[in-house]
A = this chain, B = another copy of it.
Amino acid sequence: ARAGERAQLEEVFEPLHPADIADLLEQVEIDDRNAILKLAGDYIDGEILSEIDEDIRDSVIEALEPEVLAGAVRELESDDVVDLIEGLDTEQQGAIIEVLDVVDRIAVEQALSYPEYSAGRLMQREVVIAPEHWNVGDAIDHMRAQDDLPEQFYHIILVDPRHRPTSYVTLGRLMSSRREVKLSDITEESFRTFDVTEDEGDVAYAFNQYHLISAPVVDEEGRLVGIITIDDAMAILDEEHEEDVLRLGGVGDESLSNSTLEIVKRRFPWLAVNLATAILASLVISIFEDVLAAVVALAVLMPIVASMGGNAGTQSMTVAVRSIATRDLTAANAFRVIRREAGAGLLNGFIFAVVMGIVGLVWFGQPMIGVVIAVAMVINLLAAGLAGVLIPIVLDRFKIDPALASGTFVTTVTDVVGFFAFLGLASMVLL
């Protein structure tokens, strides 16, 4: 029976790309996953392993036979090994580093010595270089003589005598130039280097902004230590987006392979913060118990003012957070954007004030209720527009990720302002 199941599994895996096999392992229940790994663990090669989501990676690695794991890891390039193990605990890391041959082991240990999320962790060390004075023929002969060119490379990096990269030449350009042309005459303008400690998010941004394909990484003396290619930058861009979206949604760091208990543990803090701000809003309401007891219509209408403020604030905040992430919102245009959000808040406020004024009047037959909700709407939508843009800007100044914390602050402002304006006006006018 086991042999039959094993054959079935192979039939499923066979046509799939390693990335799709990894996805499949992520999508099944944990018991099924362990059963699959028991049955066909030796099928897991380095490529599949490095595609598996970080959340289940440690459990997959634990489920594999030591020799299967060693075989899978030895297949990988050193930068993929780094990517594979940097999230693991020290014990698992050590077990994997041990099986590497000495050159790879040194490369991996070196990479792990750079800060997390830095260019040094992202780069590969295999680089094709040429002295600046070479011509096309020299470079071609040199490459054709080598038998260990990197698996993927797009540029030949020109270095000065002190091993500092100064420029690069594309393979295509090299191919189409005559042998006697000097490399320094066919370099690309797009050339730029990254510091080895530079944040990987900044690297991904630069790749996208400046249409880079590959870029050398240098140490503090400006010497070449590795190269980053666009496929790695694209993966980082994707991860950064994922992080932003999840943080904006109040989830933080979570994936579909997390268990119920894990997601409860991760979501709980956000909900706890929200509870605190909701209680704050309730305290504001409780100030006005008298007027609420006198005019029950206010209790019916008050969530509308808060809800509209919350939504308008989220709109304004989403644009601000996203624009800060893409570096479109800078000190240069911050004032204009703030003014614009205030204007939009006021204008939308007036429109919905008229609508809600009429709704309030018609529904409850009391003109003053219409006036109160209309004025409160204008005040709260203005507050929403301002809070939505100012809070992310201020958080960013204090080096706090705006995606992480803006939402709570913005809805706190719109709840408090909304209830305070509506009920405060009501107690002045209606009591």
Contacts and interface: CB of A to CB of B under 8 A. Distances in A.
Interface of A: 17, 19-20, 23, 26-29, 140, 143-144, 146-147, 149-154, 170-172, 175-176, 207-211, 213, 230-231, 233-235, 237-238, 241-242, 244-246, 248-251, 254-256, 259-261, 263-264, 267-268, 270-271, 274-275, 277-279, 281-282, 285-286, 289, 292-293, 296, 298-304, 306-308, 311-312, 314-315, 317-319, 322-323, 326-330, 332-333, 336-337, 340, 343-344, 347-348, 351-352, 355-356, 359, 411, 415, 419
A328 B19 contact: no
Nearest to A149: B176
B249 A319 contact: yes
A249 B359 contact: no
A323 B256 CA distance: 7
Given A278-B307, A311-B250, A285 B270 contact: no
A298 B383 CA distance: 27
A28 B271 contact: no
A327 B351 CA distance: 40
* Copies in the assembly, this chain: 2
Given A237-B234, A275-B355, A348 B268 contact: yes
Contacts of A279: 304, 359
Contacts of A315: 249-251, 267, 270-271
B271 A311 contact: yes
B300 A289 contact: yes
Contacts of A254: 319
Contact of A352 (B275, B317, B318): B275
A33 to B, nearest CB: 11
Nearest to A356: B275
A249 B248 contact: yes
A364 to B, nearest CB: 9
B172 A267 contact: no
Q: Which 7 A-B pairs have the closest CB atoms?
A: A249-B318, A299-B299, A260-B343, A171-B171, A241-B241, A27-B333, A278-B307
B322 A242 contact: yes
Contacts of A271: 308, 311-312, 315, 348, 352
20 contacts: A17-B209, A17-B210, A19-B211, A27-B330, A28-B333, A143-B176, A149-B172, A152-B170, A211-B231, A213-B231, A230-B230, A233-B234, A234-B237, A245-B318, A260-B340, A263-B344, A268-B348, A268-B351, A271-B312, A278-B307
